[in-house]
Amino acid sequence: MALSLRHVVDQLFSEVRLAKEEHGHLTDEILSALHFVFHQPLLHALDLIDRKNITKLTTPSGRVLYQVVGSSNTLYTCLISGDYCTCPSYTFTVLVKMESLMCKHLLAVHLAEALGECKNQTITNEDFVAHMCYDSVVDNNRNDEHL
């Protein structure tokens, strides 16, 4: 069931890309289909895109990660291949409770990528590793100090 929903979602993202190419924007049809699947997070995701809050970071060797500035100005790191976001909502709603397919940040990344609305930035391989590992390590250390 989850697999087939994921298939539908991927199909929708391709349609977003096509609509952008053909019409220059999302059609009402696609918007209502997206809303049917994602509900409220879709509006938040579109808002993040309007605010140009999504940055695509690419290394010279072609590794890609995305950074999303969340509603409270917190920076989240997202991966589009394999779907991952560092926000608490992704951990609880998607991974633990399995209530939804993706958080608003990850949805925003998928849509921004399909719409060509990402800001592009090049980073070094070292920076990539730091983004992938260091953020959470730093947070854990900070938490330990307060225990």
Query: Given the rule CB under 5 A, which residues bind Zn ion?
Result: 85, 87, 90, 103, 105
Rounded distance between C-alpha atoms, residue 124 and residue 122, angstroms = 7
Closer of 27 and 135 to Zn ion (Cβ): 135
- Joined together, the tokens standing for residue 80 give 């589009």
Taking the complex as a whole, the smallest distance from the CB of residue 106 to Zn ion amounts, in Å, to: 6
Closer of 13 and 19 to Zn ion (Cβ): 13
Degrees, nearest 5: CA angle 107-71-109: 20
Q: Coil, strand or helix: which one is 16? A: helix
Taking the complex as a whole, the smallest distance from the CB of residue 85 to Zn ion amounts, in Å, to: 3
Closer of 60 and 88 to Zn ion (Cβ): 88
